[in-house]
Structure 1
Amino acid sequence: MHALSFLWCFSYLAFFRTCHWFGLEEPSAPSNAVQLLLTLKLVGVAGEVVETENLKAAIDSTECTDINTRLKLKYKGIDYSCYRLVTYSFCYIGAFTGPYFTCRTFQDMVHNNDATKLPLWSDLKRRLQPLPVCGALFFFLTWLVSIETAREERFYEETSVFYRYGYLFLLFLRFRVRFYSAWILAECMAVAAGLGGYPSRAENRPGAGPTNLKVLDEAEDGGHDFETVRNILPVEIELSSSVSASIKHWNILVQWWLVVNVYKNIPTRNKLLRSIILMIISAFWHGVHPGWYATFLSAPFLLLAEDSMNRGLKHKLKSRRLCAIYDTISCFLGMRFFEYFVVGAFFLQYNEIYHFWKSLYFYGHILLIAIIFIGQILILSTGKVERPHKS
């Protein structure tokens, strides 16, 4: 069921995006946004149905006494029906912007009789803290720079390469604060509705919800949080010392969906190949334009470059000062790579992307290849080096 739902929903998404090729009216941007979220929900809910049936079968067939299995069924299983499917799919919360949430999270919100006890205002205040800065920057940068200006031929004829570097920096900053603002407000909408509020002691995770199910059976009140609907961490993205950390804190819930519904089901153990397949599917979900693939397919190679340098260089650094310098440089270069490769998402068409990258002398591609090469040389020069343990 899960695989069939995935094939059907993504096949329909392909038709939805290309229907104007067959003489139909091209869907509007808002309807496209709704369709994006519907695709995630309908594939995800199929996985939840399968998991619920598997848990029921495990309990019924073996007279299971395993408390963990029974807890999973109690707190992760769903009561599904046509009515539930429709109300979950078209719930107004995040219909245009996200955050993505599971059917079980929706079910818990609907049946929560103690919503008034949830710490809504304290959570909302924390989430809204970056909004004034992000909002002000977005409106200022919208007035200052635009992608349409960068499409004009005179932009390339009348500006220097350093001006174009600076213009790209501002375009990417506008891109980031735009999504920061939108997703912060989307999260606040979910929190205000009581969506994703669980006891803090349940060790809630974005998308997954409670991970320590035993405490849900306990009557003790240790406070609540809304980490289940956490989709963006602007400060962590801006200050992350690694590419992987920045990516991890961006659009968290869609990434969680991709891992659960796609990455874990890819039939290969090669991490680079799995990442490439994952990025192709992610790009297709965003749209059919070539630019999405140009942007998303850069991510596996950015992670490869970072991994190579960590194993070949950072792993050998002994002093904290050198590690701090390395992290600072890594943070700076990471953002420069992001702003270079996001050009694909800005322009979408290959001719415009190529024109812009050419005007910057393809510095991102050249530097990325050089870093991967240097990292691999450093690894080989010292023999086999163990990967650093992940915290």
Structure 2
Amino acid sequence: MKDDIIYLVLLGLCIGFGNFYRKIQDPEQKKWIGTAAGLLVILSTSGFHTLHMLFCYLVCGLIIIFCNRKSCHMLSFAFMFGYLFLFRSVAYLCCEAPPGHSNMIQMVLTLKLVGLAFEVNTAYLKSKEIDRTKKDDSQDSLVEVLSDNEKALLKLDMLDILHYSFNYVGVLTGPYFTYKTFRDAIYLPFSTKADCYGATVEKLKVIPLYAGLFLLISYIWPLDYATSSEFYEERSFIYRLMYVWPTFFIFRMRIYTGILLSECVCTMAGLGAYPKGCENKCGHGPSKDFSSLISNPPEDNDYDFETVRNIDVINTEKCWTFREAMKYWNMCVQYWMAMYVYKRFPSKKYRTLATMAVSAIWHGVYAGYYFCICAAPFYLPVEDIYVKLFIKGATGTKLKILNVICWISKFFAFSYMGIAFLLLTIDKIWFYYGSVYHFPYIMWATLYIVGVLIAKSRKTKTN
């Protein structure tokens, strides 16, 4: 509870500070003030452990600038994820464990620095391709050119990396944003034109509801009860099995509250503000060229903050399938995982499992993260096969009923996997899963086998 209070207070201060920060006109001054505020946030939460973040910045910055840019992204990935594991393991080495918020700061810093290395690598490869094309093609007018942002990536220095790494916006809990998004917020006029205050208030309106539901439901159905002897001895199998529903509801309300507050830090500071016509995407930013809008920016009602939107609460709750719900959850981190793990993994067959494994490693060293996140690839084929067999092509009342069944199955799967994420340690997870006799996993395996048999039977009849 103490950590939650510190977290809320710091996010509140960061949101308020944004009203002053976004009005700073001089880019250099804006960068230094943002970095100073970010380092102050880190020092106030981490104290001596701030040295971990500074060391990572120093080493990874040197890798990005001085190592071969064909491989700097992989070296940065190996170093940052290796250090993240070491950072979380210091308690086992007879050292003082870092505070909880330090872990979140280190997680965000890992995504930023590794993502930056990948951005540099992409810009470098593009520059080499342009050089090769120029040599092979005499029609220079047709040759692609580097953008200003790509040129800046190839000329990075340690100060640039310092400002990106430790700017107060997102330093505590994210969301992840690219170096391009950060640079645009410093140099482009959009943050002064967008309705930053209105966008922030719109998000703040719903936060009391989520926070209130979190406090109420966690009081009625505490997580600790699921690992008590009374839970197993006095409660029925059905009660124990259904207990995952309120625990995952509590988790969702807490995550919704935290993520929306983090988004508010971005919106109040103006980071991630782009014209709507640019077709902005979460994490990525504009998918259309906006160079013509820089000198003549549109009015304040023509902007959005889609670039830093990290969660879509409405669609997470109301969509029918597990696969679809995954797309609306922690979207900026998912963008990072998709761009730098999924799309770059050499084996198409195992890229989903590899992405889930990296996600689990990023979340922490506890077994619960692996139980939860790495279980998803095994549930998805079950859902996919029944969607294909029964929902695809269904219409009318039948479709509505099947969608509701799929929705219940989706949240039950999330809830059952999610309780492992909350219980963390193997002994607690095994106690709970043992109390329900691992019934969901047995049920999903059986459903998959039955689904495969039905699919084969239909195929045989068709032939």
Shared fold per TM-score greater than 0.5: yes
Q: Is 1:246 matched with 2:325?
A: yes
Deviates more, 1:224-233 or 1:275-284: 275-284
Cα gap change, 1:30/1:138 in structure 2, threshold over 3 Å: closer, same or farther? same
Cα gap change, 1:89/1:362 in structure 2, threshold over 3 Å: closer, same or farther? same
Q: CA deviation at 1:355?
A: 1.2
Partners in 2 of 1:12 and 1:290 — Cα distance?
18
Name 2:207's counterpart in structure 1.
131
Name 1:335's counterpart in structure 2.
411
Give the residue type in structure 2 aligned to 1:34: I
Partners in 2 of 1:27 and 1:352 — Cα distance?
23
Contact 2:323 2:380 in 1 (8 A): yes
Pairing of 1:114-263 with structure 2 (within 5 A): 114-213=190-289, 215-218=290-293, 219=296, 221=298, 223-263=302-342
Contact 1:203 1:210 in 2 (8 A): yes
Cα gap change, 1:77/1:168 in structure 2, threshold over 3 Å: closer, same or farther? farther
Partners in 2 of 1:170 and 1:66 — Cα distance?
59
Give the residue type in structure 1 aligned to 2:286: P
Partners in 2 of 1:140 and 1:3 — Cα distance?
45
* SS of 2:160 mapped into structure 1: helix
Q: Is 1:275 matched with 2:349?
A: no
Contact 1:40 1:100 in 2 (8 A): yes
Cα gap change, 1:134/1:376 in structure 2, threshold over 3 Å: closer, same or farther? same
Partners in 2 of 1:337 and 1:139 — Cα distance?
23
Contact 2:423 2:429 in 1 (8 A): yes
Q: CA deviation at 1:14?
A: 1.4
Deviates more, 1:358-367 or 1:229-238: 358-367
Name 2:45's counterpart in structure 1.
none
Which residue, out of 122, 125, 137, partners 1:51?
Answer: 122
Name 2:383's counterpart in structure 1.
306
Give the residue type in structure 1 aligned to 2:194: L
Contact 1:313 1:375 in 2 (8 A): no
Name 1:14's counterpart in structure 2.
85
Give the residue type in structure 1 aligned to 2:353: I
Partners in 2 of 1:268 and 1:195 — Cα distance?
36
Partners in 2 of 1:370 and 1:65 — Cα distance?
61
Higher RCO, Cα 8 Å, sep 6+: 2
* SS of 1:100 mapped into structure 2: coil
User: TM-score w.r.t. structure 2 length?
Assistant: 0.77
Partners in 1 of 2:271 and 2:151 — Cα distance?
17
User: TM-score w.r.t. structure 1 length?
Assistant: 0.91
Q: Please list the CA deviations of residues 111-167 of structure 1 after superposition, one character each: whole Å capped at 9, or x if unmatched.
A: 134522112233234433432321210121232232223222222222222332343
Q: Please list the CA deviations of residues 268-321 of structure 1 after superposition, one character each: whole Å capped at 9, or x if unmatched.
A: 121xx221121111111111111111111111112111111122222353x232
User: Highest CA radius of gyration, 1 or 2?
Assistant: 2
Contact 1:51 1:77 in 2 (8 A): no
* SS of 1:262 mapped into structure 2: helix
Cα gap change, 1:129/1:244 in structure 2, threshold over 3 Å: closer, same or farther? farther
Cα gap change, 1:384/1:195 in structure 2, threshold over 3 Å: closer, same or farther? farther
Name 1:31's counterpart in structure 2.
102
Which 5+ residue runs of structure 1 have no aligned equivalent? Answer: 386-391
Q: CA deviation at 1:342?
A: 1.1
Contact 1:311 1:379 in 2 (8 A): no
Which residue, out of 392, 397, 402, partners 1:315?
Answer: 392
Contact 1:295 1:342 in 2 (8 A): yes
Cα gap change, 1:168/1:197 in structure 2, threshold over 3 Å: closer, same or farther? same
Which 5+ residue runs of structure 2 have no aligned equivalent? Answer: 1-71, 135-139
Contact 1:308 1:375 in 2 (8 A): yes
Name 1:5's counterpart in structure 2.
76
Q: CA deviation at 1:216?
A: 3.3
Name 1:73's counterpart in structure 2.
147
Cα gap change, 1:358/1:51 in structure 2, threshold over 3 Å: closer, same or farther? same
Contact 1:48 1:77 in 2 (8 A): no
Q: Is 1:354 matched with 2:425?
A: no
Q: CA deviation at 1:187?
A: 0.5
Contact 1:197 1:228 in 2 (8 A): yes
Name 2:401's counterpart in structure 1.
325
Q: CA deviation at 1:346?
A: 1.4
Partners in 1 of 2:218 and 2:338 — Cα distance?
34
Identity of aligned residues (%): 32
